[in-house]
Structure 1
Amino acid sequence: MHLIFRAISEARPGPRWAGLFAEYWPAYRRWWAKDGVSVRPSFAECQRALRRYMPEIVPLWEELTELAGGGDDAARFLSFYGPPPYLSACSQAIWPGKEPLLVRNYDYSPKAFDALILRSEWQGRAVLGMTDGLFGLVDGMNDAGLCLSLTFGGRREVGEGFGVPLILRYILQTCETAAEAGQALKRIPSHMSYNVTVLDRHRRYLTAFLAPDRETILTHAAVATNHQERVEWVGHARFTATVERERFLLQRLTLHVDPEEKFIGAFLRPPLYSTAFGQGFGTLYTAAYRPARGLLEVHWPGSTWPLSLSGFAQGGRSIVVPASG
């Protein structure tokens, strides 16, 4: 199958974002309401949670809700509060060179993926990243030189909290340093376990282990795959080879002195690159973020797409994704 990636810029929420939402909403609503609309938190609960934990972006949520048609379901969906569970694989690491560099693989189902790189200037902050649900982000960077990405944390527990893509959006809208991002990650509840790696323009970094049933742990880990301090979901760990991928990356960082091109290239080959597309865990893209330069490079085997925060060029790429593997 062909997966169409789009790179779109719209400084303020407007007709382009509204058109995208109208395109994606039917599929997203089916997913969001698959267990029944009443199972999801009410509008009042979503609004209350946003006002408590992310008050700075409440006006943005309200503006996007209006562009989405102002409906109750759309507002609740866009709050990302109490969404259905979802799993991904993914690998990410900080390269130990002079220039700050965060590299990540996003392993997920091609049928449940925005495939949208959005550059915005919402609330006066320039942000560039790969969207999820058109409001959230699975990885991204802002004009303060802060970048971050997520991986699934490898735990079954589901609790009260936000879908992590909105937490990433909030951080890029409101934070400028890794330390500020760490404080936000400790404060905002996540509905599932995720690992968020953060890097700023001064090469300060951290990895946060988020969970719905225990406090967030901030670490100085430069590598994150799909477990936290130890493997807790053995079946998922075996299927995704999370321990093997972590060891491979740690060896690249400690036992090898790779040039950065070779380090990025390692993400495009096994064991980091996954072909499990039929099972929903294939590598859809590799992202290399250079926050000091405001540069994102999106990689696939044999192809690279550079996108600059300051000189952003809209466009598209058609990528062939195996039906199974």
Structure 2
Amino acid sequence: MKKVHSDIVQFRGSHYDFGYKQGELLRDSFILPNRKKQWGSKNKNFLIDETQAKETLLAFAPRIWEEINGLADALEWNMQDAIRDFGGYYLEYTRSGCSIFTSSAYMVRNYDSSPEGYEGRFALYQPTDGGYATIGPTMQITGRTDGLNEKGLVMGYNFINRRNSEDGFICNMIGRLVLENCATVEEAIDLLEEIPHRRSFSYVLLDRTGKSVVVEASPRSVVARTSNVSTNHFELLTEENRYQMKDSVRREETIRTHLNETTDAYSAFRRLNDLDQGVFSEKYSTASGTLHTAFYFPESLEVGFALGPNRLPLMFDFDKWLQGERLLAKRINGKIDTKLPFPHMAEM
């Protein structure tokens, strides 16, 4: 088992200042040089029409644009490079797994992907220039893989397919936009219907009313359905599914089979985090191993987070943090059974 960690980032202030602070932190990090090595010559296939990307970001995410400017200034990068690395628009994304279960009171989710794309950052951000405060793990610095906002809206996404992509935002930036701009499930659905999507993903939403929906989103269509379980296949937009869905269907059936035994948040967390329950995955070599398990409570604004299997979650009281209480913890520690490197922990 390899010891792993996620760094906890806390910040209150403007988006530009948040970007600048993150840029300062990244100067001495392994993340950016490792990412450059990973991408290599493929960089030319990623992006971007800078003008188009800027126009789209300013239309849907003007505050994120300020954050990207702060990152660029701190790192002394040109905007072409900053948009490519942090803009979350029209960029290739590693495929992943993921399983999500909700009740009216909480969401619990496994984030499944490759360690080589996991940046090990968990951010609490309270903006002073607009947008809701958020908590959750980051992806590509500005994006979020899942999370909770101050209004009690919870979001997590599941990968569906990379085929037939079009120009648009990728999943982690979409997650950030939902959390920072929406207070309810209905507002989130409206936003997901409006923004352009690069890939096909399911976005699972839960708010303080207890309403839980799965939004199936592709570059061509967006539809919402009421459900409390989501893995890696669409049930409505079936034409967008991958050819191989056996493991996704198996995980969904495993969760549903044991729903009657899942009586509270902790038992739901154990259902997804324990190795012997049939949902936690160790398929790291195929980019579908479970990296973190998280659960979110819309009413109390509590969050639990664990790296690796069979772990007790580290608990966060986001409501107290919003009132000005600073977290003393610097890292979330865990263990994962893989030989693959994590880009934030050592040179690759």
* Same topology, TM > 0.5: yes
Match of 2:344 in 1: none
Match of 1:164 in 2: 171
SS in 2 for 1:301: coil
CA deviations on 1:65-96 (whole Å, 9 max, x unpaired) are 33342422123321111101321100001124
Is the Cα contact below 8 Å between 1:18 and 1:67 reproduced in 2? yes
Moved more, 110-119 or 297-306: 297-306
Tell me if 1:301 matches 2:316.
Answer: no
CA distance in 1, matches of 2:336, 2:125: 28
Q: TM-score, normalised by structure 1?
A: 0.89
322 and 39 in structure 1: CA distance in 2 versus 1, 3 angstrom threshold: closer
CA distance in 2, matches of 1:146, 1:89: 22
Is the Cα contact below 8 Å between 1:277 and 1:321 reproduced in 2? no
Q: TM-score, normalised by structure 2?
A: 0.84
Shift of 1:55: 3.8
SS in 2 for 1:263: helix
Identity of aligned residues (%): 22
Tell me if 1:280 matches 2:287.
Answer: yes
Tell me if 1:217 matches 2:241.
Answer: no
Tell me if 1:148 matches 2:155.
Answer: yes
CA distance in 2, matches of 1:219, 1:29: 39
Counterparts in 2 of 1:1-325, with a 5 A limit? 1-12=2-13, 13=18, 16-22=21-27, 23=29, 24-31=31-38, 34-37=41-44, 39-55=46-62, 57-71=64-78, 72-96=80-104, 100-122=105-127, 123-124=129-130, 125-154=132-161, 156-212=163-219, 214-229=220-235, 230=238, 232-235=241-244, 237-238=245-246, 241-253=247-259, 255-256=260-261, 258-269=263-274, 270-299=277-306, 300-309=309-318, 310-311=320-321, 313=327, 314-323=329-338
Shift of 1:280: 2.4
CA distance in 1, matches of 2:53, 2:26: 19
Aligned length: 317
CA distance in 2, matches of 1:156, 1:120: 34
CA distance in 1, matches of 2:53, 2:20: 25
Is the Cα contact below 8 Å between 1:89 and 1:152 reproduced in 2? yes
CA distance in 2, matches of 1:53, 1:33: 30
49 and 32 in structure 1: CA distance in 2 versus 1, 3 angstrom threshold: farther
Is the Cα contact below 8 Å between 1:106 and 1:285 reproduced in 2? yes
CA distance in 1, matches of 2:36, 2:56: 21
CA distance in 1, matches of 2:170, 2:160: 13
9 and 226 in structure 1: CA distance in 2 versus 1, 3 angstrom threshold: same
Shift of 1:257: 5.6
CA distance in 2, matches of 1:32, 1:189: 24
CA deviations on 1:167-201 (whole Å, 9 max, x unpaired) are 11111111111110111111111211111101112
The amino acid of 1:94's aligned partner reads T
Structure 1 runs not aligned, ≥5 long: none
CA deviations on 1:20-48 (whole Å, 9 max, x unpaired) are 33322222334456423365113212101
Structure 2 runs not aligned, ≥5 long: 341-348
CA distance in 2, matches of 1:34, 1:3: 29
The amino acid of 1:182's aligned partner reads I
Is the Cα contact below 8 Å between 2:262 and 2:268 reproduced in 1? no
SS in 1 for 2:258: helix
Shift of 1:4: 1.5
Is the Cα contact below 8 Å between 2:273 and 2:311 reproduced in 1? no
SS in 2 for 1:153: strand
Shift of 1:258: 2.5
The amino acid of 2:332's aligned partner reads R
Question: RMSD in angstroms over aligned alpha carbons?
Answer: 2.3
CA distance in 2, matches of 1:38, 1:257: 45
SS in 2 for 1:319: strand
CA distance in 2, matches of 1:223, 1:180: 21
Is the Cα contact below 8 Å between 1:10 and 1:17 reproduced in 2? no
CA distance in 2, matches of 1:217, 1:33: 37
CA distance in 2, matches of 1:161, 1:65: 22
Match of 2:345 in 1: none
Shift of 1:225: 0.3
2 and 218 in structure 1: CA distance in 2 versus 1, 3 angstrom threshold: same
SS in 2 for 1:176: coil
